[in-house]
C-alpha cells in the first residue's frame, strides 16, 4: 500500500506524534483518576460525581469552542497542554505534602476536561490546513487508528499497570506526557488563517464578540444537513450509554462473575472502532446514505446476538457491531472538515460533540433505571433495537437515504451558508 504524501509532512507528523504521546498516558489517567476518587472517598457516589463532572465539560463544549477564535491555533495547542500538565502535577505535589481532598481532585478532572474540549476542535480545525481538504478522510483515519489502537492496548492493561505502580504515579505519567506534547507542538509551522477579530478593549466588547461567534456557529448550520446529523448522533449516543451504563453488570453475568470480561467488552468496542477507522478510506466512494443504513442495521442485529449468545460469540459480535460506529465518526467529521469554512470548523464539530455529550447523562439515567428494574441484557437489547430504528429513520428520510458518497455530499445545499 502506497503511503500518502501528507503522512511525511512535518506538521502532520508532529500532530500524529502528539496524539500518540497523549494516548500513551490518557488510558492510565482515565482509570487512575476514577480509582483515586474512589480511594479518597471510599464511595462509588463520588466516582459518579467524577463522571458527571467530566461529561458536563463535554456538554459545555459548544460554549467553549468560540474562545478558540481569540488566539492563534498553535499557541492554543501549546499552552492548553502545558496548563493541563501543570494542573495534574499538583496532584502528586499535594499528595506527598499536605494531602489530597476528593473535591479538589474532582474539580481538577472537570477543569482538565474543559481544556480538552477547547483543544479538540482546534486539532480538527488545523488538520485540513495541514493535509489539505482532499486528504481529510485518510488523515482522520490515521489519527483515529492511533487513538483506537492505543485504547485497545491500554483498556486491556491499564488497570493492571495502575494496580502495580499506583494512581498517583500513573497521573504523573500522563502529566509528563502532556508537557512533552506541549513542547512538541511549539515546532508547528502551518499557516495561520487570517481571521478578523474585533479589537477587544473591554469585557463588554469581548462578551459581545463571543456571543456573536456563538450565534454564528448556530446560524451557519441551521439550514444545512448538520442538524439532522446532530439528531442522529444524539440518538445513537443515548442508546449507547443506556447499554454501556449496564455493561459491567452485563459482562459479569456473561462471564459468570469474572471481572476481566468487562475489560474484554471494552477492548472489543475499541477494536471494532479501530477496524472501522481502517476500512473507512476504502468505503468513502460508496453512497453515504446507503452505507449508514446497511451498516447500522447490521450493527443492531449483531448486538442482539451480543445480548443473547454466550460470552465468546457475544464479544465477537459486540466488536463487529462497533465497526459502523468507527465508520460514521470518520465520515461525518471528514465531511464537515472538507466543506465548512476554516473559522467555523471548530464550532460546528463542537456543536456535534456537545450534543452527543448532552445525550450521555440522559442515557445514563435511563440506563440506571433499566438496570435496576430489569436484567442487564435488556439494556443491550434496547440499544440494539434503537440502532435498527436509527437505520430505519435514515431509510425513511429521502434526503438522508439519497446522500451520495462522502466526496460528493453537499451539507449546505440550498442553505446559503
Domain boundaries, the chain: 1-195, 214-417
Are 106 and 57 in contact, with CB atoms under 8 Å apart? no
Q: Is the pLDDT at 180 greater than 90, yes or no?
A: yes
Cα separations (Å) of 140 from 39, 209, 248, 381, 411? 37, 31, 31, 31, 19
- Interhelix angle 73-95/167-185, rounded to 10 degrees, is 160
Q: Are 197 and 52 in contact (CB under 8 A)?
A: no
What was the pLDDT predicted at 145? 67
Of 145-149, 316-320, 390-394, the poorest mean pLDDT is in 145-149
Distance of CA 72 to the CA centre of its chain: 23
* Cell triple for 362: 440522559
Whole-number pLDDT of residue 381: 94
Do 1-195 and 214-417 share a fold?
yes
pLDDT class for 14, splitting at 50, 70, 90? confident
- pLDDT tens-digit readout, 216-267: 666 776 667 667 777 777 788 888 878 877 776 787 788 887 656 766 787 7
pLDDT tens figures, 161-174: 666 777 788 888 88
Q: Is 405 helix (H, G, I), strand (E, B) or coil?
A: strand
Q: What superfamily would CATH give domain 214-417?
A: MFS general substrate transporter like domains (1.20.1250.20)
Instruction: Report the CATH number of the 1-195 domain.
Output: 1.20.1250.20
The overall pTM is greater than 0.95: no
What pLDDT does residue 304 have? Answer: 95
Amino acid at each position: 500500500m502506497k503511503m500518502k504524501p501528507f503522512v511525511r509532512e512535518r506538521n502532520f507528523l508532529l500532530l500524529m506524534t502528539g496524539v500518540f504521546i497523549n494516548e500513551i498516558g490518557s488510558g492510565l489517567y482515565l482509570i487512575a483518576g476514577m480509582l483515586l476518587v474512589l480511594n479518597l472517598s471510599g464511595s462509588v457516589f463520588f466516582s459518579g460525581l467524577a463522571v458527571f463532572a467530566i461529561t458536563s465539560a463535554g456538554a459545555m463544549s459548544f460554549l467553549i469552542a468560540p474562545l478558540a477564535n481569540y488566539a492563534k491555533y498553535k499557541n492554543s495547542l501549546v499552552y492548553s497542554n502545558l496548563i493541563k500538565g501543570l494542573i495534574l502535577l499538583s496532584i502528586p505535589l499535594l499528595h506527598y505534602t499536605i494531602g489530597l481532598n476528593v473535591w479538589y481532585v474532582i474539580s481538577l478532572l472537570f477543569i482538565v476536561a474543559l481544556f480538552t474540549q477547547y483543544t479538540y476542535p482546534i486539532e480538527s480545525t488545523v488538520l485540513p490546513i495541514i493535509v489539505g481538504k482532499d486528504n481529510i478522510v485518510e488523515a482522520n483515519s490515521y489519527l483515529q487508528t492511533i487513538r483506537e489502537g492505543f485504547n485497545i492496548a491500554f483498556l486491556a492493561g491499564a488497570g493492571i499497570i495502575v494496580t502495580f505502580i499506583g494512581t498517583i504515579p500513573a497521573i504523573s505519567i500522563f502529566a509528563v506526557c502532556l508537557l512533552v506534547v506541549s513542547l512538541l507542538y511549539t515546532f508547528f509551522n502551518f499557516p495561520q488563517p487570517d481571521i478578523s477579530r474585533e479589537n477587544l478593549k473591554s469585557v463588554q466588547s469581548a462578551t459581545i464578540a463571543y456571543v456573536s461567534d456563538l450565534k454564528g456557529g448556530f446560524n451557519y448550520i441551521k439550514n444545512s444537513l448538520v442538524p439532522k446529523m446532530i439528531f442522529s448522533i444524539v440518538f445513537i449516543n443515548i442508546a449507547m450509554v443506556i447499554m454501556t451504563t449496564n455493561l459491567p453488570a452485563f459482562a459479569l453475568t456473561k462471564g459468570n462473575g469474572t471481572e476481566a470480561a468487562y475489560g474484554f467488552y471494552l477492548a472489543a468496542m475499541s477494536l471494532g472502532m479501530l477496524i472501522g477507522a481502517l476500512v473507512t478510506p476504502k468505503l468513502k466512494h460508496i453512497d453515504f446514505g446507503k452505507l449508514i443504513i446497511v451498516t447500522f442495521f447490521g450493527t443492531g442485529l449483531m448486538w442482539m446476538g451480543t445480548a443473547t449468545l454466550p460470552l465468546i460469540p457475544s464479544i465477537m459480535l459486540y466488536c463487529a457491531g462497533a465497526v459502523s460506529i468507527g465508520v460514521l465518526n470518520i465520515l461525518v467529521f471528514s465531511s464537515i472538515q472538507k466543506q465548512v469554512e476554516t473559522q467555523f470548523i471548530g464550532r460546528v464539530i463542537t456543536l456535534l460533540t456537545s450534543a452527543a455529550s448532552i445525550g450521555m447523562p440522559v442515557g445514563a439515567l435511563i440506563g440506571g433505571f433499566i438496570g435496576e428494574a430489569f436484567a442487564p441484557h435488556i439494556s443491550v437489547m434496547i440499544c440494539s433495537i434503537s440502532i435498527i430504528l436509527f437505520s430505519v429513520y435514515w431509510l425513511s428520510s429521502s434526503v438522508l437515504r439519497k446522500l451520495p458518497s462522502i466526496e460528493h455530499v453537499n451539507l449546505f445545499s440550498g442553505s446559503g451558508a
